[in-house]
């Protein structure tokens, strides 16, 4: 069954106070959002995201007529458990999930010359959405396998092109694998509060961030990718990058050691080079097959 954190009557009351006059520069407003993730000692996790968003303009309606989720079937799944349109008079129109959902291979990876059939994108159409409506949806993300064993990490954005009235981000962690690294980047003073509690009965630590009244941000020409510059939270059970690099080195080493012929050829190709830059420059004079070999030598 779906985890529900928001209460419909409260959403309706909050939405009534969200107007174009209050937010003249916005197309939609995130009224409330509760994100709760619980991870296990092996790094697998389950996340629920219960969101309410009010539509203020035609552009806001167009931007939200389709909801999108990404996931990789090698590591888990991601899907909606509830989507509904709340009208200004308080009536609720549920969206038929099965009839309006389409799952396909993510076409975005093609720009990087990658084709992974396990990389999926889920699109859900929202029929009947109009200006003045509130869109409420619940997404369920399940990670059944981790990239790095016995670790967990997450990246949450606390600033967007929509004003954020309230966001609650809650992490439920086993005490045997607590968060070791917490970083709030590009903080907007006074908008984020934090609380840490212990659940003795279930042997868990509960980390809670509450975000309130964050003004919308405006994209700038040629700016870096948005999520890398706005207010954001990074959390991890790893304390240093060296832990990650050590894991990756151990992962790659057996494969490197199993290809002595490549190392021999690499050294042969750059035998007359006197420094690293010469080795790199040599790449431009070799065939594509040699490029990888010279990289090995560098």
Q: Kindly report the number of other CB atoms within 10 A of residue 29's CB atom.
A: 25
Cβ atoms of residues 215 and 162 within 8 Å: no
pLDDT the model gives residue 288: 46
pLDDT the model gives residue 267: 82
Q: What is the mean pLDDT of residues 261-285?
A: 79
Q: Which residue has the higher pLDDT, 55 or 254?
A: 55
Q: What is the mean pLDDT of residues 195-218?
A: 97
Q: What is the mean pLDDT of residues 30-35?
A: 98
pLDDT the model gives residue 285: 57
Q: Look at residues 82, 100, 89 and name the one whose alpha carbon lies nearest to residue 6.
A: 82
Interatomic CA distance for residues 199 and 175, integer angstroms: 9
Q: What is the 3-state secondary structure (H, E, C) of the chain?
A: CCCCCCCHHHHHHHHHCCCCCCCCCCCEEEEEEEEEEEECCCCCEEEEEEEEEEECCHHHHHHHCEEEEEEECCCEEEEEEEEEEECCCCCEEECCHHHHEEEEECHHHHHHCCCCCCEEEEEEECCCCCCCCEEEEEEEEEECCCCCCCCCEEEEECCCCCCEEEEEEEEEEECCCCCCEEEEECCCCCCEEEEEEEECCCCEEEEEEEEEEECCCCCCCCCCCHHHCCCEEEEECCCCHHHHHHHHHHHHHHHHHCCHHHHHHHHHHCCCCCCHHHHHHHHHHCCHHHHHHHHHHC
- On the 0-12 / 13-18 / 19+ scale of CB atoms within 10 A, 226 is middle
Cβ atoms of residues 150 and 177 within 8 Å: yes
pLDDT of 232 higher than 80: yes
Q: How far is CA 144 from the centre of its chain?
A: 16
Q: Kindly report the number of other CB atoms within 10 A of residue 150's CB atom.
A: 13
pLDDT-derived band at 291 (thresholds 50, 70, 90) equals very low
pLDDT the model gives residue 236: 98
Q: What is the mean pLDDT of residues 64-79?
A: 97
pLDDT the model gives residue 264: 83
pLDDT of 141 higher than 50: yes
pLDDT of 2 higher than 80: no
Q: What is the mean pLDDT of residues 174-198?
A: 98
pLDDT the model gives residue 58: 98
pLDDT the model gives residue 207: 98
**For helices 288-297 and 260-269, what crossing angle results, to 10°?**
90
In degrees rounded to 5, what are phi and psi of residue 183? -140, 120
Return the percentage of the chain with pLDDT > 70, whole number.
94
Interatomic CA distance for residues 126 and 67, integer angstroms: 8
pLDDT of 16 higher than 60: yes
pLDDT of 179 higher than 50: yes
pLDDT tens digits, 40-71 = 999 999 999 999 999 999 999 999 999 999 99
Interatomic CA distance for residues 91 and 133, integer angstroms: 10
Q: What is the mean pLDDT of residues 233-243?
A: 96
Q: What is the pTM of this model?
A: 0.86
């Amino acid at each position: 069954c779906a985890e529900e954190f928001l209460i419909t009557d409260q959403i309706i009351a909050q939405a009534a106070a969200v107007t174009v006059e209050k937010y003249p520069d916005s197309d939609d407003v995130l009224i409330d959002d509760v994100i709760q993730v619980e991870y296990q000692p092996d790094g697998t996790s389950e996340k629920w995201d219960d969101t309410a968003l009010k539509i203020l303009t035609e552009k806001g309606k167009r931007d939200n007529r389709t909801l999108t989720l990404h996931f990789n079937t090698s590591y888990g799944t991601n899907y909606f458990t509830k989507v509904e349109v709340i009208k200004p008079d308080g009536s609720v129109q549920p969206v038929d999930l099965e009839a309006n959902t389409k799952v396909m291979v993510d076409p975005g990876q093609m720009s990087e010359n990658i084709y992974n059939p396990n990389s999926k994108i889920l699109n859900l159409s929202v029929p009947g959405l109009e200006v003045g409506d509130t869109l409420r949806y619940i997404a369920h993300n399940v990670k059944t396998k981790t990239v790095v064993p016995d670790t967990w990490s997450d990246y949450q954005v606390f600033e967007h092109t929509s004003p954020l009235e309230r966001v609650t981000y809650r992490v439920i962690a086993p005490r045997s694998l607590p968060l070791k690294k917490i970083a709030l980047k590009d903080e907007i003073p006074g908008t984020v509060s934090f609380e840490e509690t212990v659940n003795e009965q279930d042997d868990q630590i509960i980390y809670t961030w509450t975000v309130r009244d964050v003004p919308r941000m405006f994209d700038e020409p040629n700016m870096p990718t948005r999520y890398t510059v706005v207010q954001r939270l990074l959390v991890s059970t790893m304390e240093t990058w060296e832990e990650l690099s050590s894991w990756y080195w151990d992962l790659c080493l057996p494969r490197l050691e199993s290809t002595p012929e490549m190392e021999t050829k690499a050294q042969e190709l750059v035998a007359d080079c006197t420094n690293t830059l010469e080795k790199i420059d040599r790449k431009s004079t070799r065939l594509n097959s040699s490029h990888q070999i010279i990289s090995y030598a560098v």
